[in-house]
């Protein structure tokens, strides 16, 4: 919590999708700020940065360059520090299989 605002993290490579997210967030009237990272590597770097920067929630896109959402998720869940970070996956993939495998792994 900083300034009473929830600290959110969004990992998505598509700028338009990011805009949509911000718009939705604003429209939702939830008091929160969101930090955006654009690829997997950047995500991990950010998470591994200073502790007080750790978000309350991570919104994770699966299709990201450099490191995919899957890989990041694996790393997060196996890391003691981030293990308990709530992760919300959102993806444009219509593939049910993905959803199933994700729910199994988390």
Partner 1 sequence: MSSELSRNDCFFIAEGGEMGELTRTKNWSDTSLGNADNWPQSLKTSVNIILNTNFPMFLWWGPELICFYNDAYRVSLGVQGKHPAILGMKAEEAWPEIWPTIKPMIDKVLAGDGANWNEDSLIPIFRNGSIEDVYWTFSYSPAYDEECNVAGVLVTCTETTEKVGTLKKLQDSEERFRMMADNIPNLAGMAHADGAIYWYNSKWYEYTGTTPAEMEGWGWQSVHDQEKLPGVLAEWIDSIKTGHPFEMTFPLKGADGRIGQFLTRVLPLRNKDGIIHQWFGTNTDITKQLETENAVRTSEKRFREMIAQAPVAISVLRGENFVLESVNTKMLEIMGKAKEEIIDKPVFEAMPDAAGQGFEELLAGVYNTGKPFIGNEVLVSLVRNGKPEEVFLNFVYEPLYDNKNRIDGVMAVATEVTEQVLAKRKLQEGADRLKMVLESLPQMAWTTSPAGEATFFSDNWHLFTGQSKEAALGYGWTKALHPDYKDAALKAWQTALATGTPIEHEYKVLNSAGEARWMWVKGTPMKNDKGDILLWVGTVTDINERKIFATELEKQVSERTAELESKNNELGRTNKELESFAYIAGHDLQEPLRKIRIFSDQILEGESATLSAGGKDRFDRMQKAAKRMQTLIDDLLAYSRTTTAEKKFEYTDMNILASEVKEELREELKAKNAVLEIQSLCSLNIIPFQLRQVFYNLISNSIKFTPTDRNPRIDIKGRKIRGEDMDNKKLSSDRIYCHISITDNGIGFEDEYRHKIFELFQRLNGKAEYSGTGIGLAIVKKIIENHEGAITATSALDEGATFNIYLPADEQKITE
Report the interface residues with partner 1, using CB under 8 A. Answer: 14, 16, 20, 23, 92-94
Provide the minimum distance between the beta carbon of 46 and partner 1 in the complex, in angstroms, as a whole number. Answer: 25
Closer residue to partner 1 in complex, CB, 20/56: 20
Q: Which of 87, 94, 99 is nearest to 11 (CA)?
A: 87
CA distances, 59 to each of 33, 54, 86, 89 (Å): 13, 13, 9, 6
**Min dist. Cβ of residue 71 to partner 1 (A):** 19
Of 14 and 75, which CB lies nearer to partner 1 in the complex structure? 14
Residue nearer to partner 1 on the CB measure, 20 or 88: 20
CB of 39 to partner 1, least distance (A): 17
Rounded least distance, CB 36 to partner 1, Å: 17
DSSP string, 12-81: -S-HHHHHHHHHHHHHHT--EEEEEE-SHHHHHHHHTS-GGG--SEEEEES--SSS-HHHHHHHHHT-TT
Name the residue nearer to partner 1 (CB basis): 16 or 80: 16
- Neighbour count for residue 28 (Cβ, 10 Å): 9
């Amino acid at each position: 919590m900083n300034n009473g605002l929830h600290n959110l993290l969004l990992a998505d490579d598509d700028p338009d999708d990011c805009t949509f997210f911000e718009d939705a967030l604003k429209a939702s009237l939830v008091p929160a700020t969101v930090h955006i990272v654009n690829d997997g590597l950047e995500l991990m770097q950010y998470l591994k940065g200073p502790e007080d920067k750790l978000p309350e929630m991570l919104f994770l896109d699966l299709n990201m360059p450099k490191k995919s959402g899957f890989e990041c998720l694996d790393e997060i869940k196996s890391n003691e520090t981030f293990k308990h970070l709530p992760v919300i996956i959102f993806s444009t993939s219509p593939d049910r299989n993905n959803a199933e495998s994700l729910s199994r792994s988390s």
